[in-house]
Amino acid sequence: MLGADVPIVLLQHGGLDTLSGKTGLAMLRYRRGSIVAVVDPAHAGAELRQITGIDRAVPVVESLAQALPFGPEVAVVGLAPSGGHLPEGMGADVAAALAAGLSVASGLHSRLGDDPALAALVQPGRWIWDLRREPPDLKVASGRAAGLPGRRLLAVGTDMAVGKMSACLELLAAARRRGLDARFVGTGQAGILISGSGVALDAVRIDYAAGAVEGAVLAAAAAAGPDTLVLVEGQGSLCHPGSSATLPLIRGSQPTDLLLVHRAGQRTIQRLEDVPLPPLGQLIAAIEALAALGRPAGSGPPPRVGAIALNTARLDGAAAAAALTATAAETGLPCVDPVRQGGEALLDLLLGQKRSPTP
């Protein structure tokens, strides 16, 4: 619903320099289409790069009214606040966008289209896209993705918010620069908003979660060939006591390749410091053992973790290099920071690991 040719304005109220703004920040970093303005009253008039470090020339304005002269067609809620409700102070700009004839896209848990006052403001031919909705006509997964040609890489993480989406998008960009047929399956609000499609996994009932992933992978792989690379955004972590997302992603995508994503130096779940992370080798063995189950007969060898994508964003250059070397030595696997170093090296590693063809 949100193609690359659609000019958007990001509603980023207070989120340009906070974790709550990660959805909009991801769009600023990875959306290929036009972002004509960012609304953030806290930083109006400032230079985007100075605030975020993202090298993109987008004006930061105080209100939706000030963004209208830049010609947006869709206003996108760029915040992911705790609780998932429309942040206080943003409602007026959402209403102003609809009244001005814009459409609105939101990944909040609270559905803007269910608000009668907002729904009444939608102009003819415009819409409110609440992407956190369960897809219709869901089926229980049956391993159908295992029969697809090409390769399917699933990013799995040691914790939430360690860079699973970023690693996939860096791989996608590197593959496309080489003219390869690469597809991305978004499974969270930022990934879906960036790519324009996907499945919001956390909106799906658990019995149908793997089936929803399966359907999204099949859709993304339409008309795929033997050289197609499908990159599936990971969610959650097997290490997190509150997360159940990894298993349906494994079952639904039937991956041929696995990429472990980890934050350098992290030893516990980020917001649950009494929950330790296991040694990476132990976690890799557990992931591979789970991924070897629930696979149709004749679907090729079970997937292996082929590399580590290490998030070194909190380290300086020397410390990052040391962390990459140490993690490679600990796991015996190649280790790359795809954001810091680009996706090319990680893509070379993936393509260099030969796989038996899918039947």
Tell me what the mean pLDDT of segment 108-130 comes to.
Answer: 96
Tell me what the mean pLDDT of segment 130-134 comes to.
Answer: 94
Tell me what the mean pLDDT of segment 212-225 comes to.
Answer: 97
The residues facing 330 across adjacent strands are: none
- Rounded CA separation 223/159 (Å): 34
Domain residue ranges of the chain, discontinuous segments joined by +? 8-130, 144-352
357 pLDDT higher than 70: no
134 pLDDT higher than 80: yes
Domains 8-130 and 144-352 share a fold: yes
- Rounded CA separation 246/229 (Å): 20
Give the tens place of pLDDT for each residue, 268-303.
999 899 999 999 999 999 999 999 999 999 999 999
pLDDT attached to residue 354: 66
Q: Is 27 helix (H, G, I), strand (E, B) or coil?
A: helix
Q: Is 88 helix (H, G, I), strand (E, B) or coil?
A: coil
Specify the CATH architecture of the domain 8-130: 3-Layer(aba) Sandwich (3.40)
> Number of C-alpha atoms within 13 angstroms, CB side, residue 344?
5
> Number of C-alpha atoms within 13 angstroms, CB side, residue 86?
20
Question: Given pLDDT bands bounded at 50, 70 and 90, which one contains residue 83?
Answer: confident
356 pLDDT higher than 60: no
pLDDT attached to residue 188: 94
Tell me what the mean pLDDT of segment 134-143 comes to.
Answer: 95
Torsion angles phi and psi, residue 106, rounded to 5:
-145, 140
Give the tens place of pLDDT for each residue, 141-187.
999 999 999 999 999 999 999 999 999 999 999 999 999 999 999 99
Structure tokens, 321: 């290099």
Specify the CATH superfamily of domain 144-352. P-loop containing nucleotide triphosphate hydrolases (3.40.50.300)
pLDDT attached to residue 358: 52
Q: What angle do CA 15, 37, 57 make, to 5 degrees?
A: 95
Unique residue bearing structure tokens 């047929």: 181
